[in-house]
Amino acid sequence: MDLEPIKRTGVLAAYRAGRILNEHFGNSIRVTKKGAIDLVTEADLASEKVIVDTIKEVFPDHAFLAEESGGIQGNSLHRWIIDPLDGTTNFAHHLPIFAVSIAYAHADKMMMGIVFNPINGELFSALRSEGARLNDHPIRVSNTRQLSDSLLVTGFPYTVRSTPPTLLIEQFTRCLTSSQGVRRLGSAALDLCYVGCGRFDGFWEENLKPWDTAAGMLIAMEAGAKVTDYGDRPYDIYGKQILATNAYIHREMVDLLNTEVLK
């Protein structure tokens, strides 16, 4: 299967969406709430529209799973999984940490991933079995061998107000006190890419959606990362947990995050 036309179209869509986000960023924009702390802006909507329109120009019969559109649109083995603005809360608060995330799957198998940060121009990409790249330069995970020497990153679910975050806090505390530090950027797509290029050694989060992780997961894996759930089982983009590491510290992270260990 020739994935180059897929990648070219995805890159073009990401650049077009990034241009829209940059035009809106820092300006007064309309923000609405999907939940207590789950935001959507007019930039999300405009970005998603240009991504879908760009892809449809080339692949009119392909299906889409996009954050703002909700469920799957179309019935095809070819599916694009789109987050037009990963890091909406950052964007709404004028914090320049956000990205466009575009993945392509064939028969539910992830084949291509693109994550574009329009603020600094970094474009991460991957094709299945062909490695991962940052602006056309190959990337690899870090060589950090021990959790105690690792820099980690995580995120917090939108359910923290409705569900007591007791376990989340315990997991965070264990990781914080076992590593060199924990960061919280607010964009799972970038978190995964940063594991892939060695800026972080491990990432964990729960209650994410498929569009949050589909592209970043493939990029991280193609860069050498191990990606599972907290129990070291194969990661499913429709699952509740994701753990991505440079592989060397994976067992230590599993031991810290596995709920059976914590009880």
Domain boundaries, given as residue ranges, for the chain: 4-138, 147-262
Say what the pLDDT of residue 160 is. 67
142-164: b or e for each residue (b if 16 or more CB lie within 10 Å)?
bebeebeebbbbbbbbbbeeeee
> Which CA distances in Å does 162 have to 154, 156, 209?
19, 13, 18
Which two tokens mark 73?
Answer: 């649109």
Mean pLDDT for 140-157 is 97
Question: pLDDT digit string (tens) for 100-127?
Answer: 999 999 999 999 999 999 999 999 999 9
Q: Is 1 exposed, middle or buried (0-12, 13-18, 19+ CB in 10 A)?
A: exposed
Question: Tokens 């474009």 identify what position?
Answer: 123
Confidence tier at 26 by pLDDT (50, 70, 90): confident
> Beta strands of 122-180 (E only): which ranges?
122-127, 132-134, 137-138, 151-154
Alpha helices in the chain (DSSP H): 4-24, 42-58, 88-92, 166-178, 188-196, 210-222, 250-257, 259-262
Q: Which amino acid is at 9?
A: T
Say what the pLDDT of residue 165 is. 77
Mean pLDDT for 83-92 is 94
Query: CA-CA distance, 186 to 248, in Å (whole number)?
Result: 25
pLDDT at 181 > cutoff 50: yes
CATH code of the region 147-262: 3.40.190.80
Fold of 4-138: Fructose-1,6-Bisphosphatase; Chain A, domain 1 (3.30.540)
